[in-house]
A and B are shown apart, each in its own frame.
Chain A
């Protein structure tokens, strides 16, 4: 089955800098790649997603890049703020099928 690896388990950046979280996947049939954020004591909250028909998507300060050849995707958070501090999870799934495979999470700390 699919394996999603999240390369950074922890990440610290200074407020205003950019943060980058990288993930790789193994299943060439995966075509949907969402990102979720988890704050302490809460469930996961959707932040952004990308589908395999594009290689870049931006929503305000969040940018997702997808490199299908390398089976790699990344989340870029620009102009970080303290409220961006959380655990971020990447995931992958096949088209039309919603069994998501999640990475193990990256704990992001934004230092004021």
Chain B
């Protein structure tokens, strides 16, 4: 079991460019979560899928951010027209069925927007 895999580990983009972050959940897990981690804000919930369907995207900034889960084995978080304030570590997590259970986190993608 390789755990939750996030790629890339580090991404550097110029202001205004697009960034796509990838997450491969643990096989058999039906729920996938995205969080953003910064020193100032801590861990912020972005969005969550269960059985590939979006359940709650209340934490997603309304503009420029989108997330998809086209199949059971991966989810993507896309940020269009990146801004310096988007710089953060983006963490993906999965859980067995999306109810109150432990989350398994990936190592995160550190996004730096110059």
CA distance A74 to B58 in the complex (A): 28
Contact, CB under 8 Å: B98 / A98 = yes
A28-53 CB contacts (< 8 Å) to partner B: 31-32, 34, 36, 41-46, 49, 51
Contact, CB under 8 Å: A44 / B100 = no
Contact, CB under 8 Å: B33 / A98 = yes
B75 within 8 A of A: no
Closest chain-B Cβ to A26's Cβ sits at a distance in Å of: 16
Closest chain-B Cβ to A104's Cβ sits at a distance in Å of: 4
CA distance A105 to B58 in the complex (A): 22
Given contacts A41-B107, A42-B107, A89-B43, contact A99 B102 (CB under 8 A): no
Contact of B95 among A36, A42, A98, A102 (CB under 8 A): A98
Chain A positions 47 through 85: 1 when the CB is less than 8 Å from some CB of chain B, otherwise 0: 001010000000000000000000000000000000000
Category for how many chain A residues contact B: 20 to 34
* A-B contact number at CB 8 A: 58
Closest chain-A Cβ to B27's Cβ sits at a distance in Å of: 17
Contact, CB under 8 Å: A102 / B42 = yes
Contact, CB under 8 Å: B91 / A43 = yes
Closest to A105 in B: B42
B65 within 8 A of A: no
Closest chain-A Cβ to B49's Cβ sits at a distance in Å of: 11
Which residues from chain A contact B99 at a C-beta distance below 8 Å?
96-98
Contact, CB under 8 Å: B100 / A96 = yes
Contact, CB under 8 Å: B100 / A32 = yes
B16-38 CB contacts (< 8 Å) to partner A: 31, 33, 35
Contact, CB under 8 Å: B58 / A43 = no
Which residues from chain B contact A97 at a C-beta distance below 8 Å?
99-100
Which residues from chain A contact B107 at a C-beta distance below 8 Å?
41-43
A93 within 8 A of B: yes
Contact, CB under 8 Å: A49 / B42 = no
Contact, CB under 8 Å: B100 / A95 = yes
Contact, CB under 8 Å: B108 / A43 = yes
CA distance A104 to B40 in the complex (A): 9
Closest to B4 in A: A43
Closest chain-B Cβ to A90's Cβ sits at a distance in Å of: 11
